[in-house]
Amino acid sequence: MSNIMVLSPALNGPDSSGSSMKITIYRLLLFGSGFRRGAIMTTFLVFSAVALIGECKAALPRADLRHALRFGSQYTVTGLVIMPSLEIEEPFIAYIDESSGKSRVDYYKGEMKTFQIDSEFSRIYWSLNSETHATEVHCHTVSASGLQEPTGVLPDLSDLEFVREEACNTDSNASFLGESGSSPLCLRYERILKDQDRETKLVFWTSRDADAGFIPKRYRVTGYDNFLKSRLDEYEVIYLQFTIGDLDEDVFDIRSVTDKPCIAATTMSELSGYRLLNPMRGFVHNDVSRV
């Protein structure tokens, strides 16, 4: 009878839990018939293969990173829509209640507000009277043919795939996000849409909070844009502050903003009416047919 000592080092460094694999010592006792020796060697190879497969699985992204992201049904978010080629940076504040089909988005520091209550969209804005030079409030409404999802400022992420972890401000046009060295880490998700010779790249960045919840940070669209119908260089939605929690019902009450009655927008076509009353949905969904 003879002994062979086989030392098998860690196969792939630290495992998914962060602890290092210990060096495994296999002692093969080679004795008896050739059949017995072959059986022992086969057992050794099987255990080695199982260890390798386990390490390969650990190298894949965690399941929670590969599945659709969830941000809660009620939230408040402030941010910016940035178009670098046009030197545009437009602020917005959004109040979303998906559970009750309500949303409100304030643009231009509150100079224009859009409301959605189920299938009715309302747009309130202020302008100067050309004769009196006094500020006047205007309110227009458009009713959709059927129940619509509430206007969101977050894109549909179900088809985006996790790519890697990186600084949240990677390749950003927003200088106020800071240098990459000082930026927190984000999870990067991507999707490429192709239509004949047209290609559009969608990239979304999200961070994690202390409770492992997701916090949206950025959404960028480059290439051909279906909403603006142009080969747009790029635009980006920056999410500066995101808060999950119950919303006050007064937020969705148009009367809290103006007591002036809203007028049905009969002079606008259905499509252009939705573009004016629900512009953010076109940006974050990159599909005008869903606006």
Write the pLDDT tens digit of every residue in 35-62. 444 444 444 443 444 443 344 333 344 5
Tell me which residue has tokens 């060697």. 41
CA distances from 82 to 15, 191, 233, 236, 244 (A): 41, 20, 12, 5, 24
What are the φ/ψ torsions at residue 249 (nearest 5 degrees)? -60, -25
Could you tell me if 179 and 152 lie in one domain?
yes
Q: Does residue 225 or residue 156 have the better pLDDT?
A: 156
Please state, in angstroms and rounded to a whole number, the distance separating the CA atoms of residues 34 and 38: 6
CA distances from 243 to 44, 75, 102, 193 (A): 54, 5, 17, 31
Could you tell me if 131 and 203 lie in one domain?
yes
Rounded-to-10 torsion of CA 135, 267, 142, 244: -50
Is residue 137 very low, low, confident or very high in pLDDT (cuts 50, 70, 90)? confident
CB 170 within 8 Å of CB 203: no
User: Which of these, 97, 95, 89, lies nearest to 77 by C-alpha position?
Assistant: 95
Rounded-to-10 torsion of CA 223, 284, 86, 107: 180
**pLDDT over 60 (residue 102):** yes
Could you tell me if 72 and 13 lie in one domain?
no
Q: Is the pTM of this model over 0.75?
A: no
Could you tell me if 37 and 107 lie in one domain?
no
| Domain carrying residue 117 | 66-290
CATH of the domain at 152: 2.50.20.10
Total domain count, the chain: 2
Could you tell me if 114 and 162 lie in one domain?
yes
